[in-house]
Structure 1
Amino acid sequence: MDFEEIVIRTDRLDFPALAVGDGPVVVCWHGFPDHPATFGPLAEHLVAAGRRVVAPFLRGHHPVTADQMTYADSITLAADAAAVAEALSPDAGVDMIGHDIGAGVVARLAGAWPERLRRGVTMAVPPPKALPPILLDPAQQQRFFYLWLFQLPNVAETVLESDRRLIDYLWATWSPGLDPGEHRVRVHELYGDPTLLRNALRIYRGNFDMTLHDPELAALAARTEAPATVPLLVLAGADDGCIPPEHFANAQTGLAPGSSVQVVANAGHFMHLDQPGKVAKAVLDWFSAD
């Protein structure tokens, strides 16, 4: 898929993004360790269905925004998504897909800025309210070893800056059998930039470090961490080595009525690369539902 790079100008930040196609916009938010271009195989199907795909770089994940990471909390990223949606469609909500960190972005947008979301899809991560219980599972605590590692200043940086083997390991264990191909090069290049890598680590540290939370957005937590009023489609990979599908069993407790939770067969964490056709069908059916 041949993306063009564009800039989405908002009142919060100018966001570099990859874009392709014509028609109603679908905004796609990536996660870690990832790059917007991995939405390419999914975008092929969406563009063929008459949609325009816009995949922004998360704040701090592009050289243009490298120095714009004062705050790195999840609500900051959701506020970014709301600003992007308003810039692309001032008078109506947009369709949106979020993967990994991007899943939290879309879910929290649905909670605090529902008018900016027409239909939303989250992939590979349960909704915010359903996340805390899974942290009590010792097996999941082990799968999240990287999250704990990333809390250690200098140690995490040293591990990831010395080489990118940990990134390759995460990809291999999260989507077993997937060959990232050209995407591996893009991901390595992105996180090969020490500033962008450290920005990604700040997002993980923002889960626990309140100094990374924007105090002006703090009051929104009552809505972003609660079940949203907007129904969402939540997709889990049957073979996900990061968050396995059994941890989506209670996802409905964090979702609005009318939401749907589906498990994608023969897919891991990077399900949009494992099974782009299946994911596209589920997404397009959801977008077209009444």
Structure 2
Amino acid sequence: MFEEIVIPTPRLDFPALAAGEGPVVVCWHGFPDHPLSFGPLASRLVAAGRRVVVPFLRGHHPSTYDELRFADGLTLAADAAAVNEALSSEPLDVIGHDIGAGVAGRLAAGWPERVRRVITMSVPPPAALRTIFDDPAQQQRFFYLFMFQVPGVAERLLNSTLISYMWRTWSPGLEVPQYVHDMYADPALRANALKLYRANFDRSLHDPELAELGKISERPAQIPMLVLAGAQDGCITPDKYDAATGLAPGSRVEIVADAGHFLQLDRPDEVAALALDWLR
């Protein structure tokens, strides 16, 4: 259903998948994932009269493999702001999954004029993550965050076996789509994915020109958000949303029954219904 497009911006020409006509919804994917995973959700949004645009994260498409000098979350949020501005002079609706949830949250905090409505999926917004590492069990589930910091080891272990384990653990019963395996078969893509995680600890991967915005982007956004989580998510368990602070008044947390981390694939009907209600 998707067509491939390129979104020219002053920051980068972003390859993207797009479908439908009508008010635009911009969707940002996560790890280890591909824009195509938004397909089932996109088909339902398109049927409801929306145009869905799903850009590839910087460094996650062959045309941008060499464009990931900085890999911090603020860089990705600045990219999202540029995409929104290129697509419309008006604020746009944004949905972010996993890493894309951080993109959406920081975009709403740092560039609120570019955003109309926000939905995050499977990762709490940045300002709600402050205490997540206090839980030893959650640290275990985040083993890959730490493993990815080890040169050589990370490059060797980020392979199809690990990706299959992540998907199987994070969304029980869900098979890894072949397009994900194909995407991560490329060593350049895997190196860029590792950069995103190493930027959590390596300040040399942060864009110094965005440093001042960093004081804003981690604060609670003033735009209400719909925060979605899967009841069976094996990456970030639903109890981590119980005390979700850092959300603007009017925000809502919804736990989707019988869904795992990839809830847009696990339960596309339920997620589409929640999304369409929120975006109205």
Identity of aligned residues (%): 66
Secondary structure of the equivalent of 2:145? helix
Q: Which residue of 2 aligns with 1:171?
A: 167
Letter in 1 for 2:166: L
1:33 and 1:179 map into 2 onto residues whose CA distance is 13
Q: Deviations over 1:201-255 (max 9, x none)?
A: 000000110000000001111111010011111001100000010001121x111
219, 222, 235: which is aligned to 1:226? 219
Q: Which of the numbers 232, 253, 260 marks the counterpart of 1:268?
A: 260
Counterpart of 2:124 (choices 123, 126, 130) is: 126
The DSSP-based 3-state class of the residue aligned with 1:18 is strand
Alignment-derived partner of residue 241 in structure 1: 234
Distance 1:132 1:186 in 2: 33
Under a length normalisation based on structure 1, what TM-score does the superposition of the two structures give? 0.95
C-alpha distance in 1 between matches for 2:100 and 2:17: 15
- Say if 2:202 is the partner of 1:209: yes
Which runs of structure 1 show a deviation greater than 2 angstroms over 4 or more consecutive aligned residues?
none
Write the mapping of 1:41-56 to structure 2, written as runs, cut at 5 A: 41-56=40-55
The residue number in structure 2 matching 1:24 is 23
Amino acid of the structure 2 residue aligned with 1:95 = D
Q: Does 1:80 align with 2:79?
A: yes
Which residue number corresponds to residue 147 of structure 1? 145
1:57 and 2:50 aligned: no
Shift of 1:132: 2.5
**8 Å Cα contact 2:24-2:92 kept in structure 1:** yes
Q: TM-score by structure 2 length? A: 0.99
Kept in 1: contact 2:167–2:175 (CA 8 A)? no
> In structure 2, what residue type is equivalent to 1:189?
D
Note the 1:73-112 alignment, pairs <5 A: 73-90=72-89, 92-112=90-110
Once the two structures are TM-superposed, the CA of residue 179 in structure 1 deviates from its matched residue by: 3.0
SS of 1:132's equivalent? coil
Structure 1 unmatched ranges of 5 or more: none
2:154 corresponds to 1:156: yes
Does structure 1 retain, via aligned residues, the 8 Å contact 2:31–2:98? yes
2:142 aligned partner, one-letter code? F
Residue 257 of structure 1 is matched in structure 2 by: 249
Q: Deviations over 1:26-54 (max 9, x none)?
A: 10100000000000000111000000110
Report the aligned-residue RMSD: 0.7
Cα distance, 1:129 vs structure 2? 1.7
